[in-house]
Every structure is written in C-alpha cells, then in structure tokens.
Amino acid sequence: MDEVLRQALEPVQRDLQGTGISLPSVVDGWTGSGEATVLDPNGISATGISVDGSAPEFERIAAVADQIQEIAIEGRWAPTNWPPCPHHPDRHPLVVSTRDRQAVWVCPADEALIAPIGRL
C-alpha cells in the first residue's frame, strides 16, 4: 500500500479498533498511487479509497476518515452512528472536521470538538 495512504489510515484504524469495530482489510489494487481497496470485514463488498499525497497530513487523515466512516456505515459493518456522538449517542455520529491543522471528530449538532482522529 502507498505509504502516504497507510499513514493517513492508521489513526482511523485506531478509532475503529478503539470503538470495538472490526478492522477492514485494506489492500493495493485499486487504480494507482495513493489509492487502495477496503474489503469489508464480512467479505461482502470492496470499495476504493484514495488520498491526495500533496495535501497536508491533517487533511489526508480527515479525508481518509470521512471515506472510511461512509464505507463502514453504508457497508453495515459499523453502527449507523459510528463513531457515536457522546453528547447525542442515539441521534447521530460524529463528523470529520479540521481545526488548528488537526483532523478531528466533531458533534454536528453543537460543533463541539470531541477528539482528534486516532484518539477515540
């Protein structure tokens, strides 16, 4: 796997694991550099992810987190509220954002900063 993509994916995988979600397999074989294929833990589907290697690291992490969150929820290998908002756990998941040059999880209702991506 492309090293830039691997580094951007690491904090997202920590958040999946830290919240009790099965880690997907991520393999080369999509279309090129900075791209990979996510194989869902159930073995049902595969989806491509990518990262812009010229973007700052915090933007790459945010982009990968956003893609993985969408894949996990749509693929149904994570709850539809992954990661759950601690302020409103039954209403919505956290959303990806960037603040102060850092990729973070934020409550979409009150915009409260919950945690840096990789530290859930």
- The per-residue pLDDT for 29 is 63
Contacts of 86 (CB under 8 A, 6+ apart): 114
CB 103 within 8 A of CB 116: yes
pTM of the model: 0.93
Cα–Cα distance list, 116 to 47, 87, 103, 104 (Å): 25, 16, 6, 4
Burial of 73 (C-beta count, 10 Å sphere; 0-12/13-18/19+): middle
* pLDDT for the residue 93: 96
Domain spans of the chain, in order of start: 3-116
pLDDT exceeds 90 at position 23: no
| pLDDT for position 38 | 92
Q: List pLDDT tens digits, range 28-82.
A: 865 666 889 899 887 788 899 999 999 999 999 999 999 999 999 988 888 899 9
